[in-house]
Amino acid sequence: MIKTQIKVLEDVSLDNPIFIEALPGIGHVGKLAADHLIDELDATKFAEVYSPYFPPQVYIGEDGLIENMVNELYYLKNQGEEERDFIILVGNTQGVSPEGQYAICNDLLDFIEEYGVNELFTLGGLATGQPVDEPIVYGAATDEDKINTLKDVEVEIRSADGGIIGASGLFLGLGKLRGMSGACLMGATPGYFIDPEAAEEILNKLSALLKIEVNTDKLEERAEETRQILSKAQQREQELLNRNMPQQDDDLRYIG
């Protein structure tokens, strides 16, 4: 299998960091939450990830500058009341083929394992297909302890109903095989538009879980910026990724 290319920008030593994944998915819910987290807590980018399993294209960004398809790793140190370290994975794309998803996920797990990760959270949206009256975050986890932790912060546990497709699912599953404990937070969202309310609710739950504080005042502002900054191409790319994933009907609409 083709190796993922991980370009390390800074050698950093982390203490038992918690890993957070939020690659593009439905409603940009996970990505919006993670991008906000990175900005508010001033996280530092320490690695870039490239893969021949990404879509064969570039984006035209602001001022005509081209942007590669890329995933990025950020770190944070000594956050919150427990002074924990974090690694956050964000980016503008995911692998396009099944074996590409597996290859990238396994290579990234190899990489973060060396930093001592044994706990992880994956963030995404769960498309309801209709307006969401009250923000709600659904959850699933690798083990009962984690399920209980989710319940403590009033995440709604999904049971025997649905799958988690793409990176948000695979990081949990393949992480579990390596003995990592993890959970997925899925913010209910109508889908197909950028949803800061769902992202805010995800951030609220994540902050409670990680015992950190994240000011979400600027999230709506950021969502608006995101709407404008995100090239139309990126938005369409996301739709494309959704389309490439196994099809789903009304009861199975989660994409990580």
Q: Which of residues 158-187 bind a second copy (CB under 8 A)?
A: 158-166, 169-170, 172-174, 176-177, 184
CB of 103 to a second copy, least distance (A): 7
Q: How far is the CB of 58 from a second copy (least distance, A)?
A: 4
Whole-number Å distance between alpha carbons of 203 and 76:
16
Q: CA angle 83-19-32, nearest 5°? A: 100
The reply to whether 192 sits near a second copy by the rule CB under 8 A is no
CA distance readout (Å), 3 to 23, 26, 173, 236: 19, 27, 20, 27
129 in contact with a second copy (CB under 8 A): no
Q: At what angle do helices 219-229 and 196-210 cross, to 10 degrees?
A: 130
Packing angle of the helix pair 219-229, 29-40 (nearest 10 deg)? 120
Distance (Å) of CA 132 to CA 135, 236, 248: 7, 23, 19
Tell me which stretch binds a second copy (CB under 8 A): 81-89, 191-199, 216-224, 232-240: 232-240
| From candidates 15, 16, 78, 157, binder to a second copy by CB under 8 A | 157
Q: Residue 246 in contact with residue 191, Cβ under 8 Å?
A: no
Dihedral, 144, 145, 150, 151 alpha carbons, nearest 10: 70
| Residue 153 binds to a second copy (criterion: CB under 8 A) | no
C-beta of 126 vs 198, nearer to a second copy: 126
The least CB distance from residue 117 to a second copy, in Å, is: 17
Interactions with a second copy, residue window 52-111 (CB under 8 A)? 52-69, 95-103, 105-106
Q: By C-beta, is 67 or 113 nearer to a second copy?
A: 67
In the bound complex, what is the minimum distance in angstroms from residue 218's beta carbon to a second copy? 21
